[in-house]
Each structure stands twice: as structure tokens, then as C-alpha cells.
Amino acid sequence: MGLFDKLAGWLGLKKKEVNVLCLGLDNSGKTTIINQLKPSNAQAQDIVPTIGFSIEKFKTSSLSFTVFDMSGQGRYRNLWEHYYKEGQAIIFVIDSGDKLRMVVAKEELDTLLNHPDIKHRRIPILFFANKMDLRDALSSVKVSQLLCLENIKDKPWHICASDAVKGEGLQEGVDWLQEQIALSNQNDENMRPS
């Protein structure tokens, strides 16, 4: 990092860039969540199923996020692993109204966690138990039980219930993610030989 960049960072002129992977099954609300996080003048009106993947950007108070919004359809899920190396954080979105496919979400999460590019990295994972406005939606506690999230020991994770259409619960999740990235950056700085 050049001196100028550092200086800009301290002054808050240039925000630190973070790459985030947004994963989850199809129809879980990944694109809607990303869309809600964007500034209101940049938000899209119509959300259609993502083909392949798309790259979106949004900013928070201290970070600038670049999100790989992956398609969750079965035939595109094998694309996910090509972007694992770039990801510094993962947002995993779950449709809490789809009880039937909770096992599929768990299966995909397990393959993700056991992937060599992810397994030994301490990257934060944020889970959104989305669509909590549905009448038959599962609570975030129940979702974390069904996905066996308590077995994730070596990575910081957080689950929050969200309603992506109204934008409820998203800010809480992003704040947590920001905090975790700040923490890991501090650690990196400390580890670096002076």
C-alpha cells in the first residue's frame, strides 16, 4: 500500500475495498438483498433470476463492498467455487419459507465449507434467514438448527432474520460484517512484521 493510499485511508477519503460472495439457493433473495443495500437512486425496480453471476457495488460508512451476486440455480451452482479465492467474506442467503429445500441449502453450505479454498481461511460468513415476512417462515434460530451452524467453529458467523423486500434486518447483518472485516484487518496489520 502506497503512502498516499494509506493517507487517504486514514483521512477517510478512500474506503477500503472488500470482495464479498453472495451465495444461496435460487429464489432465496440474493439479488433483492444486494439491491436493497445499494443507494436508493441506484436500486433496480424489477428483479429477475440471475443468469450466471453479476457484480454489484455498494458502500457503507467505512468499507466499499464489491459483491459477486451468484446465480443459485442448480446448473449454475458449480460456478460458485471459481470465485471462492477472491471472496473475503460470504453472505449466505436462505429462504426460510422453503422447508423442503433446507437440506439442499445445508448440503451446499457443507460443500462450501469443505472446499480447499475456504476450509482453512478464517473468513466471516453472514447468514440471512430471508423472507421472514412469510406466514409459514421458520425463525432464524430454527434455520440455524436445521443448517447445523453450531458446527462452524473456525469461522466467525452471524445469522439474522431479514425481509429483503422491505429491507428489514439487512443493516444489522451488514454492520456485523463490517465489524468482522475491520477486526480481521487489524489482526492482519498486527501480524505483519514491522
Neighbour tally for 137: CB within 10 Å? 20
Q: Is 73 a catalytic residue?
A: yes
Stretch that binds other proteins, among 34-42, 54-62, 92-100, 120-128 (CB under 8 A): 92-100
The C-alpha atoms of residue 89 and residue 83 are separated, in whole angstroms, by 11
Does the annotation list 50 as a binding residue?
A: yes
Q: Decide: helix, strand or coil at residue 143.
A: helix
Q: Does 77 bind other proteins (CB under 8 A)?
A: yes
Phi and psi, residue 17, nearest 5°: -95, 135
Nearer to other proteins, 95 or 163 (CB): 95
Sequence-ordered list of residues with C-beta below 8 angstroms from that of 53, at least 6 positions apart, any chain: 68, 69, 70, 71, 76, 79, 83
48, 75, 116, 191: residue in contact with other proteins (rule CB under 8 A) = 75
Site pattern 114..153 for other proteins (x: CB under 8 A): ----------------------x-----------------
Q: Read off the C-alpha cell for 162.
A: 431479514
Query: Which residues contact other proteins by CB under 8 A?
Result: 25-27, 74-75, 77-78, 97-104, 107-108, 111, 136
